Amino acid sequence: MGQQVSVNPFVLDIDGDEPCLVGGRCVDCGNVTFPRYAGCPKCAGSNIEPIELGREGTLWAWTVQGFPPKSPPYLGANDAKDFHPFGVGYVELPEVIVEARLTESEPGKLKEGMAMKLTMESLFKDEEGNDVVTYAFAPAE
Amino acid sequence: MQSDVAIVGIGMHPFGRHEGVTGMEQGAHAVREACKDAGISWQDLQFAVGGSAAAGNPDTMVSMLGLTGLQFVNVNNGCATGGTALSTAYNTIKAGMADLGIAIGFDKHPRGAFASDRPVHPVDGGRDWYGGSGMAINPQFFAIKINRYMGKHGISHQTLARVAAKATRNGSMNPMAWRKQPFSEDEILQSQMLAYPLTQYMFCSPGEGGVALVLSRSDQAHKYTNTPIYLNAAVMRSRRFGSFEVKASWLPKDDEVGPTADASRAAFELAGIGPEDVDVAQLQDTESGAEIMHMAENGFCEDGEQEFMLERGETEINGRLPINTDGGCIANGEPIGASGLRQVYENVLQLRGGAGPRQVPNDPKVAYTHVYGAPGISGVTILSK
């Protein structure tokens, strides 16, 4: 029996009650990045700790991916016949603004400033039958 | 305007798709054309700087051109590769290291949007979560940036179409352009929506081509040409903390100007002039929205003024500030190594008065180029006669 697995636990932790994004926080200056880097792009410090990011935020900017991404690197279905456009945007979380897929792909239903909540989307089934998931944001209402 | 360095010869291999011709052969063709234009031979050159992102190490082209022992430096600086080749050549002459050299850019890319062949962000030994999840796609960034900009500054979809229509119209007058068929604004708006609000005909495509520019000390320029074009500034800048750039998986909440505004300011300062002195400009138009935003980032207008500037045709060849007179990236495609040098080639033609049916009227004297690209770099040049 397959189960849900994260595309990469380095950025998406799905082991808790709710999924959460993992970024990096500079211990010296407090700057938060997503993902976690070895050094801080703000103060050039190198003392970085992992930080769980908030799950709710607002839409900062968006588009809709209208053509199949090249594979590699894309892990999802990208045959022209199986491909469905998906939203991509930046969501302002309490700590940092992150780029993510959006579950909504209708331009008329996407608006800057709207409330968004973290969720997961299936990317593909791996060789063991696991459902490999990535992070996405959905309208909160 | 004073300058220590002049462009005395230009050469180009047509842009587009050239089955069976390598990128480097296109570069070598451009070199031969540039030498012919300057009335010199390859043996006369003391140094070369070459740039290519995907078509091989430029210095190996000496086996096609002649093994003269010249100094040949390779540069690879993302979308600013051509600009970096030029600024390196400029600095070599300015520093007094040589009198005569050549800047070369060429490339050949596979079809379709640029894809990342290795992870853009750390993966900690796991899967490429960023590209793997359907991000790391350049058109997304440009679409997201212009979508936000349109809302903030009142830019319409029609204005996006006007930019692309102008590019294809100008391209149709350029024998070196890839796409020579003009499209109407309606055709552009009705083509496939690739990344909202940007449609297929608003985008440039990765392509092929080569450009070479022969540079000399200004005080020797008349040995090679009656119409030397002076290089007053060649500047490159990378991004600062807080600027919104292509392939950013996150953004800080601090708002900072991008590398274009930084490079532009530095170039104007070096040349000792301002945006109001520019007679013709070639600006990075990865897609229509980029040209619109880059008009403001380079100091040619305030945010939002593009709407009426385009409506009044101010950026047409006969307008107040002609932009992308050769059709820009939209009509020429983007062979990364050659793209920035194509802009300079076009400006040299315009300043010499040799641009044929697309010649900017009233004897332009100052010309400006700007490239922008991953991972957040910009290159600017200012030319004068």
Parse chain B into domains and list their residue ranges.
5-111+203-384
Q: What is the pLDDT of residue A115?
A: 98
**First-residue to last-residue Cα distance in chain A:** 33
In B84-123, the residues whose Cβ lies within 8 Å of chain A are: 112-113, 115-117, 119, 121-123
Nearest by Cα to B167 from B139, B188, B190, B146: B188
Residue of A nearest to B199 (CA): A66
Q: Does B255 touch chain A (CB under 8 A)?
A: no
The per-residue pLDDT for B255 is 76
Q: CA angle, A76 as apex, A70 and A81 as ends, to 5°?
A: 75
The pLDDT mean for chain B works out to: 95
Nearest residue in chain B measured CA to CA from A91: B250
User: For B339-362, what is the mean pLDDT?
Assistant: 98
Residue of B nearest to A40 (CA): B241
Residue B153, chain A, CB below 8 Å: the answer is no
How many cross-chain Cβ pairs, A to B, lie less than 8 Å apart? 138
B136 interfacial to chain A (CB closer than 8 Å): yes
Q: Searching chain A, which residue's CA lies closest to the CA of residue B124? A: A10
Cross-strand pairs, A99? A90
Identity of residue B132? G
| Prediction ipTM score | 0.97
Residue B280 pLDDT > 60, yes or no? Answer: yes
Nearest Cα residue in chain B from A60 = B148
Rounded distance between C-alpha atoms, residue B253 and residue B113, angstroms: 29
Residue B298 pLDDT exceeds 60: yes
User: Which parts of chain A sit beneath pLDDT 50?
Assistant: none
Q: Is the predicted pLDDT of residue B157 greater than 80, yes or no?
A: yes
Q: Tell me: the pLDDT tens digits for B76-134? A: 988 889 989 999 999 999 999 999 999 999 999 988 777 667 899 999 999 999 999 99
pLDDT at B16 over 70: yes
Residue B261 predicted with pLDDT over 80 = yes
Q: Do A99 and B143 touch (CB under 8 A)?
A: no
Structural tokens at position B155: 């830019």
CB contact under 8 A, A37 and B122: yes
Cβ of residue B157 closer than 8 Å to a chain A Cβ: no
B374 pLDDT above the threshold of 90? no
Fold of B5-111+203-384: Peroxisomal Thiolase; Chain A, domain 1 (3.40.47)
Q: How far is A141 from chain B (nearest CA, A)?
A: 22
> A5-35 burial, b for 16+ CB within 10 Å, e for fewer?
bbbbebbbbeeeeebbbbbbbbeeeebbbbb
- On whether any CB of chain B is under 8 Å from the CB of A135, the answer is yes
Q: Give the minimum alpha-carbon distance from B193 to chain A in angstroms, rounded to a whole number.
A: 6
* B158-179 per-position pLDDT tens digit: 999 999 999 999 999 999 999 9
Across chain A, what does the average pLDDT equal?
A: 95
Dist CA B185 CA B34 (whole Å): 36
Cβ atoms of A138 and A58 closer than 8 Å: no
Hey, are the CB atoms on B134 and A90 less than 8 Å from each other? no
Question: Which pLDDT score, from 0 to 100, does residue B22 have?
Answer: 97
Chain B interface mutation, best of A63, A78, A96, A114, highest count of B Cβ atoms under 10 Å? A63
pLDDT at B96: 96
